[in-house]
Chains A and B, each alone.
Chain A
Amino acid sequence: MGQPLDTTAIGGCNPEAAICTREVTRDFRAGQQTITVLHGIDLDIRAGELTFLVGESGSGKTTLISIMCGILWPTLGEVKVFGTDIYELGDTELVEFRLNNIGFIFQQYNLIPSIDAANNAAVPLIAQGMDRIEAREKAVAMLEKLNIGDQASKLPSQLSGGQQQRVAIARALVHEPRLVVCDEPTAALDATSGRRVMDLLREVAVAEDRACIIVTHDNRIFDLADRILVLEDGKITHDGKDMPEGH
């Protein structure tokens, strides 16, 4: 499945970088036409920072984040996550790499409605093969850290949006991944809740050797970023602490 990589075109990666992409290109076929969504993205994401990936719909930011966390193959290019060339891994190895190294926070949370908050948060541990009881204990501890320990036994449908978001965050962090990927974490929340969630993320996610990428176009929270990457038409057009003018 792995696409042949043109290694001659790739420059060396900084070993300090959490994520390093070189010449990442992605084409989609739409009938007879081939649409290139990403045009040779070179990026280094550092650990210990909140990195925002900002872009309009269709700018390719979903594709880029998918490629960076190992769920979408690039057409060309190389992606290294903590020094591992993830698209050189086999299918199963890649799945296990994700399981052990990446925490996901989805925009719609995608919690399992028929199991309670603690069990939802424990899913990555269970998937790793941990005993159910032990996994639940750890998940409850994580929920307590996120101040919703008292909601551990409630079903997702009994929780408010913000509480569900916290459960999702707990799920993303419970197995202590080195990379956390958040897709629009604040889109469904009001400004206050959104900021609180961002504070939380900063607090728990950004630690030594842990990288956090947040995909968003919520301008209310741009000021919380350590680094903002702007993607336009498949190219990085801005890379800095603040948003450029006009956005």
Chain B
Amino acid sequence: MLWIAIRMLTGDAQKFYGLVFGIAFSTLLITQQLTIFVNLIERGASGTYNVSNADIWVMDPVSRTTDVAYAMPATALDKVRSVPGVEWAVPHLRSQASVRTKDGDLEGVAVIGVDDATLIGLPKRMLEGSPDVLSQPDSVIIDDVGMTRMFPDGSPIGERLELNDQRAVIRGIADAIPSFTSTVVLYTKYSQALNYVPGTRNRLSFVLVGAEEPAQAKALSERIERETGLKAQTRDEFAQDGIDFIIENTGIPLNFGITVALGFIVGVAIVGLTFSLFIRDNIKQFGALKAIGVTNAKIRRMVAVQAGLVGLTGYGLGVLGTVIFIWSFSADPTFKGFYIPWQIPLISALAVFVILALTGWLALRNVLKTEPASVFR
């Protein structure tokens, strides 16, 4: 019976393609918009995720994100080191500075000072050069966003910059996920960063902590807060803080929420209308089938199979479309690091399921209500 249902569905090519298009369009809209949304707001967490070693970030209690941080006195490092369960702790400096390029242009940059001895705080991968170049005097490592923004024409290696009246030589390129604002990032040693950043009383922005037992990072962060009076966030918490900061301070969630809702509504409208039109066209056939001796359960299964085929085809094409979209833009630096979180296709699958369940149920109601006796009229 089920193949008959599928034949009935595909027999009307117009409506079938309408249904598939509706589902595919909804899927594309929901998946693609959610993907861009998630990736955009996750840019708020890129500063946290770029540091691959730290289980816990310790900061002043008023600090909020990697970019909104209030500096601590230098002894905070020793305080954190004194907490049992802390395997290691290193200083981390993040600050804004202005840089004058060779052409004389002024560019705002983020200066990140990583621990002198261990270089903890650098991104995991380098695009060019090795982290060891920081041991040379006046060395900085630029991130790839900075490379494309400040040196669009060639390699920045060996270029000299003027950073707050100090000389800085680019000796490496880091492979990092850009921040929300795509600020150029210069990595340098902590002691060097102190020279580059105009002096304020305290300079230590963060203390990066490695836990004895990374699995118990949450408990350790609470202990650090208790014993030092500073604010300690696990890596995931701190990443979430960055995301929340973007959500709270921009209109992004609303805008994308509207688009996603539109995708859903368009899906419901197209699919719902087409599906109920399709069922209405076939109501006589369904009535005949019921009279001949097809149970309601089988009819339900037939409609379910029809919805399933439409859903599978449309959803597959929609997801494929999203993947092609993301893939084709992956070379663009704006989209660097964009990925499709595995939850999003599941969400859009759920949305497709809801759309089809809703419209299928509405259509089925008509079929089930049909008296078999109506075929004699």
B293 touches A100 (CB 8 A): yes
User: Whole-angstrom distance between the alpha carbons of A145 and B288 in the complex?
Assistant: 23
Q: Which residues of B contact A72 (CB under 8 A)?
A: 371-373
Picked from B285, B294, B297, the residue with its CB within 8 Å of the CB of A127 is B294
A104 touches B291 (CB 8 A): yes
Total of A-B residue pairs, C-beta within 8 Å: 84
Asked if A17 is at the interface (CB within 8 A of a chain B CB), the reply is no
The residue among A72, A95, A171 with the most chain B CB atoms within 10 A of its own CB is A95
Using CB atoms, name the residue of chain A closest to B288: A110
What is the distance, in angstroms, from B192's C-beta to the closest C-beta of chain A? 75
Q: Known contacts A106-B288, A106-B376, A110-B288; is A92 also within 8 Å of B11 by CB? A: no
The residue among B1, B297, B371, B375 with the most chain A CB atoms within 10 A of its own CB is B375
Q: By the criterion of a CB under 8 Å from any partner CB, how many residues of chain B are at the interface?
A: 27
Interface residues of A in 57-78 (CB under 8 A from B): 62-63, 65-66, 71-72
Asked if B289 is at the interface (CB within 8 A of a chain A CB), the reply is yes
Q: Which residues of A contact B290 (CB under 8 A)?
A: 95
Q: Which residues of B contact A71 (CB under 8 A)?
A: 291, 371-373
User: Whole-angstrom distance between the alpha carbons of A219 and B194 in the complex?
Assistant: 109
Asked if A126 is at the interface (CB within 8 A of a chain B CB), the reply is yes
Name the prevailing secondary structure of the B interface residues. helix
The residue among A66, A72, A132 with the most chain B CB atoms within 10 A of its own CB is A66
**Chain A, 120-134, contact with B by CB distance < 8 Å: what is the 0/1 string?**
000110110000100
A99 touches B292 (CB 8 A): yes
A62 touches B377 (CB 8 A): yes
- Among the stretches A42-50, A111-119, A221-229, the one at the interface with B is A111-119
Which A positions have Cβ atoms within 8 angstroms of B?
A: 62-63, 65-66, 71-72, 92, 95-100, 102, 104, 106-108, 110-115, 119, 123-124, 126-127, 132, 171, 183, 215
Which 4 residue pairs are nearest across A and B when measured between Cβ atoms?
Answer: A114-B11, A99-B293, A110-B288, A71-B372
Which B positions have Cβ atoms within 8 angstroms of A?
A: 1, 3-4, 7-8, 10-12, 284-285, 287-295, 297-298, 371-373, 375-377
Known contacts A98-B293, A110-B284, A110-B375; 10 additional CB pairs below 8 A are A71-B291, A72-B372, A99-B292, A106-B375, A108-B284, A110-B285, A114-B11, A114-B12, A127-B294, A183-B376
